[in-house]
Chain A
Amino acid sequence: MVTDTGSRSPIVEVTSLTKTFDNGRVRALDDVTLSVPEGQMTVIIGLSGSGKSTLLRHLNGMHQPTSGAVRILGSDLVGLGSKDLRRLRRDIGFVFQSFNIVGRLSCLENVMSGALGRLRGPRYGVLSYPRSLRREALEQLDRVGLGDRAFQRTDTLSGGQQQRVAIARTLMQQPRIVLADEPVASLDPEISGQVMDVLFRSCVEDNITVLCSLHQVDLALGWANRLIGLRDGRVVLDTAVDTALDTERVMEVYKRLDPTGEKATEYESPAVHQ
């Protein structure tokens, strides 16, 4: 499972990335530097509000940094024009916590929308996509175990199934990188394991680099090569995942987690940081 990826060229390079919101009042990311080689499976852990989503959203240009640089697939993301950004996004899949599929469309059409970057012009309705793409999308749906639901409306599916449709849409992009932002946070534990398996297995098969943020450490350890821990917008842990992984160090990331509930710590953390 764990492969030596150190020799390969970095596919993601983040340098001194800082992001503030509300005119500097909230510091979401604080001087984050990291580099990811091609093919690596990285899992980012941390409390909610620790900056995981903000980091991932910088990697496909949905956020622009306050300072610092983001280089991905050889392009500098900062100040990239919208046309170049769109082209770059074709190669970067994004899996959202809330799925972000179009509920009223059929599963097949949602999956095919992953190919929009390859097509010219707007599409509406399954029949507006070329036959070859329809076949390709059906194969991707089959891959995530939903080949029998192609023409069912996506919002009639369960949460886990909807997220699998979203994963199939991402795979349809034929991306080189997949960014997954807490993909199983709104699913129950058993379904979570299935969805994570589908996501990571497909990415390994297609040799896609993965950066995935997660809440549950145990789900992460099965697939990850590398573990990054964020707290209050800073990298507090960066380690390869092997048998000797120190659980104490991993739990360190969550150490402010109060057993009475994490909301309290969330509100406290910025103050502690200053």
Chain B
Amino acid sequence: MTIIHEPLEKKDVRGSDQPTPHQGWSVNRIALWGIVISFMLVAIWSLIDIGVNPLTLFFERDDIGNLLQRMWPPTITELSSVWDATLDTFFMAFVGTFLGFLLAVPLGFLAATNMTRFAPLRAIARGVIVFTRAIPDLVFALIFVRVYSIGVLPGVLAIGLHSIGMLGKLFADSIEQIQTGPREGVQATGARRSQDIATGVLPQIVPSFIAITLYRLDINFRSSTLLGLVGAGGIGLQIRAYQGGLRYPELLGVTLLIIALIVLVEIVSTSVRATILGHDRTKVALLTRLRGGPPASAFARSDSPPAEAPTISTSLRPPWTRERVTMYLFGLVTLVMLVLSFTMSDMSLGDMITGLPEIPQVLWRLVPTQFDWWQSEFADLLIETVLMGFAATFLALIFAVPTGFLAARNVAPARWVYVTARTFILGVRALPDLIVAVIFVAALGLGPKPGVLALAIGLFGFATKLFADAIEEVQEGPRDGIRATGASRLQESFSGVLPQVMPSLVGNSLYLLDVSIRGSTVLGIVGGGGIGFPLLQGAKLLKWDLLGGLLILIFLIVYTIELLAGWVRRRII
């Protein structure tokens, strides 16, 4: 032990000019720990204030059990209308994602430093991206339903607008990450700017753009099942009707149907993503490694045609390789889906084209002109919203960290544990948190308590997946080192794995807090406490000033937390 310690201490002495091995307390370090500690204090306070703790679900088991009893057995009546609503939901998510993609691509280019030199333009693009990301799609839907009336159209627009946030940000990131060499090569031939973008930039970004958009489709399908709760079409309308009519068996039936569909869509979109990225050599390496298949080099060789190679190709048209066929098929399926969306649902292309340009006008109407909308209770509700976010994150983390270790293939004590844990979190993740909130509100009554519990369950699934994925990426070397000293399996996890995943654990937790506070703003719409209820009332009574004012406050809160969390994350990782 002493042998290891000696050089470390020497280095410390040299580094800080201090005889003690402690690091100095710079302003940054004080701020960092200040933020981390106050986050913890707020989290603990939030649990006390809302009156929840890790065992609340256990204590409330009677009420929840009673409700589940009333829900049993799950039934689905009015099959044809449920089927229509399901189709509507899917098409709404599809067209919304497509719309978001169309809007996000130019914004991504405008926001990327290596594409847009003019800083103010970049700042405007970033601003739009940050704003659309901070406002939940449910809130956009709430507003658009008042303007475009109940139906699929407001849902499509809400999904499209909210998707811009994530898509635009990730697009800009992947544009900024391209290699400059190929661009330089194209520019050196005397190509114009548009040619340089098409030949030097596009081929580098197309695969990641497709992967990101498919991932967003997955997310949008989940949230599209809920948009009906505020009247924006789809299966959510059905849920609202069953909730209002206390038709619990049907509520459970539709919920189970939604869970099954979400799992199905996730499986399909993951495999489509893998097929499309599969042609990328590096990604193939990753995929085959995961499946334990042959190394990437072998794959690449078998893909290229050396058998017919020696002859000089005489054709001037590219051959129909598997890659080319896949891309054409992908394009064709997208097109067919778009056509189906407009023919099979009650959505019309004309309505969308006329509706879209009205959005800036609608948003403009939200800018508050006076301040008589403010009521003192809003301050309490805003604080409650933030506390709900903290409480849900805290509860989720307590359960997610240990479960994450069980769901990581390389750490799980046995294969069946890993498989069970993964299946369990896939199921939990498919539960739309607002539907859980609807059920908990029905069981426990109105207020922040059922809201926090529902949010925590959703976050738990998400957090466990993030943690397990991070744990699976740790290096084996340090673990072998610990194991070689004769450590037990638990000691090995603590000393060999935990230190490696700590930065991503903290980073992911802060990201979850971000997601959680955004989620807590809409819980009030189903009676789960927080600022969501006045938002719903404001939209119902068409009080634009109130809606706009609250949205600005929500945006400021969410954005502040995001900036703080981002700052801490960068310091720690």
Contacts and interface: CB of A to CB of B under 8 A. Distances in A.
B243 interface: no
B182 interface: yes
Nearest to A166: B185
B195 A103 contact: no
B316 interface: yes
A135 B316 contact: yes
A152 to B, nearest CB: 6
B198 A169 contact: no
Interface string B317-341: 1110100000000000000000000
Nearest to B199: A113
Contacts of B310: 148
Contact of B194 (A117, A121, A166, A170): A121
Interface stretch (B163-171, B200-208, B371-379, B388-396): B200-208
Interface string A103-135: 111101100011111010111101100010011
Nearest to B205: A104
B350 interface: no
B197 A122 contact: yes
Contacts of B202: 124
A209 B194 CA distance: 29
Interface residues of A, number: 53
Given A104-B203, A166-B185, A169-B185, A156 B304 contact: yes
A140 interface: no
Interface stretch (A26-34, A88-96, A221-229): A88-96
A200 interface: no
A109 B203 CA distance: 11
B26 interface: no
Nearest to A109: B199
Interface in A159-211: 166, 169-170, 173
Interface in A54-91: 60, 62, 86-91
A105 B198 CA distance: 11
A149 B319 CA distance: 12
A102 interface: yes
Contacts of B187: 89
Contacts of A43: none
Contacts of A152: 304-305
A152 B306 CA distance: 10
B287 to A, nearest CB: 17
Contacts, number: 123
B190 interface: yes
Given A62-B184, A96-B181, A113 B313 contact: no
B309 interface: yes
B189 A147 contact: no
B48 interface: no
Given A101-B185, A103-B182, A169-B185, A86 B191 contact: yes
A142 interface: yes
A116 B199 contact: yes
A155 B181 contact: no
A200 to B, nearest CB: 19
B189 A169 contact: yes
A62 B319 CA distance: 37
Contacts of A134: 316
Contact of A138 (B199, B304, B309, B316): B316
Contact of A89 (B189, B194, B309): B189
Nearest to A169: B189
B191 A116 contact: yes
B182 A117 contact: no
A151 B305 CA distance: 10
A98 B181 contact: yes
Contacts of B487: none
Given A117-B189, A122-B198, 12 more contacts: A62-B188, A89-B190, A90-B189, A94-B188, A102-B199, A105-B203, A109-B199, A122-B195, A123-B198, A138-B316, A169-B189, A173-B189
10 contacts: A86-B192, A89-B190, A91-B190, A96-B181, A102-B182, A102-B185, A102-B199, A104-B207, A113-B191, A156-B304
Interface of A: 60, 62, 86-94, 96, 98-106, 108-109, 113-117, 119, 121-124, 126-127, 131, 134-135, 138, 142, 147-153, 155-156, 166, 169-170, 173
